Amino acid sequence: MDIKEKILVVEDEKSIQSFICTILTANGYDVISASSGSEAYSMITSHCPDLVILDLGLPDIDGLDILRAMRQWTLMPVIVVSARSYERDKVTALDIGADDYITKPFGASELLARIRTAIRHTRTSTNAAVGQSGKFTTGGLTIDYAKRRVYVDGEDVRLTQNEYKLVSLLGMYAGKVLTYDSILKELWGPGSREDNQILRVNMANIRRKIEKNPAEPQYIFTEVGVGYRMAEGD
């Protein structure tokens, strides 16, 4: 089962939204869309996409305000696509936390290249152990961030999308304890219930797939009452 990157397209002009969505779908992305700022932020917090394409000139909320709100809880990549071509607008968006800025009109090839770059930087910038290979390895476990797959002793363990997101997040911060709350917010948004049951269920399934003995894990450890920690990379 292929795990596709999910991209949220936030654009109120239907023709442009349709154009972008068609391009992304044709290139293998899982695409969702929003036409207003309120709808966009709701989808960001509920779907936690891998990347957001954000128009600034929305009918209800300025795109910069959405970006500011996002950066209070997540580092998910954001590419601003806007008709605003003034340098100060670009600088403001980038200073607030946009990963890239494209001025309308733009071509399909340029957009796709910018998306690939933003996603690649997000995968590799957090943890030096990932390096240029785009892979994290600890013992017999390998996370391939390019293919979005996890292998144990060379075999694909076939994680679900949520399971992969959890393992890949822990891999980016290998050796560090991530609290339950921080994981919930990063993977399920700031509106996620402060209920660790969803994490426990996913982790139990993950351990059945990656650990020889789930009761004595060698890859992902539980810090009781705090969170989870991935073993340090090789």
Question: What pLDDT shows up at residue 99?
Answer: 87
Question: What pLDDT shows up at residue 62?
Answer: 92
H/E segment holding residue 103: strand 100-103
Pick 6-125's CATH classification: 3.90.1580.10, 3.40.50.2300, 3.20.20.140, 3.40.50.1100. 3.40.50.2300
pLDDT per position in the chain (234 positions), as tens? 567 899 999 999 999 999 999 999 999 999 999 999 999 999 998 888 999 999 999 999 999 999 999 988 888 899 999 887 777 888 888 888 898 898 888 899 999 999 988 887 766 555 555 655 678 899 999 999 888 899 999 999 999 988 999 999 999 888 888 888 888 888 887 766 666 888 899 999 999 999 999 999 999 999 888 889 999 887
Using CA atoms, how far residue 120 sits from 93, 117, 124, 131, in Å, is 20, 5, 6, 11
C-alpha triplet 178, 181, 185: angle, nearest 5°: 100
Question: What pLDDT shows up at residue 23?
Answer: 96
Return the number of other C-beta atoms located less than 10 Å from residue 65's C-beta: 14
C-alpha triplet 54, 64, 28: angle, nearest 5°: 15
Measured CA to CA, the distance from residue 163 to residue 3 in angstroms comes to 11
Pick 131-230's CATH classification: 3.30.460.10, 1.10.10.10, 3.30.365.10, 3.40.50.10140. 1.10.10.10
Question: What pLDDT shows up at residue 86?
Answer: 75
Question: What pLDDT shows up at residue 139?
Answer: 93
Q: pTM higher than 0.75, yes or no?
A: no
Question: What pLDDT shows up at residue 34?
Answer: 97
Q: How is the chain split into domains, by residue range?
A: 6-125, 131-230
197: its two tokens: 């049951």
Question: What pLDDT shows up at residue 124?
Answer: 55
CB 51 within 8 A of CB 5: yes
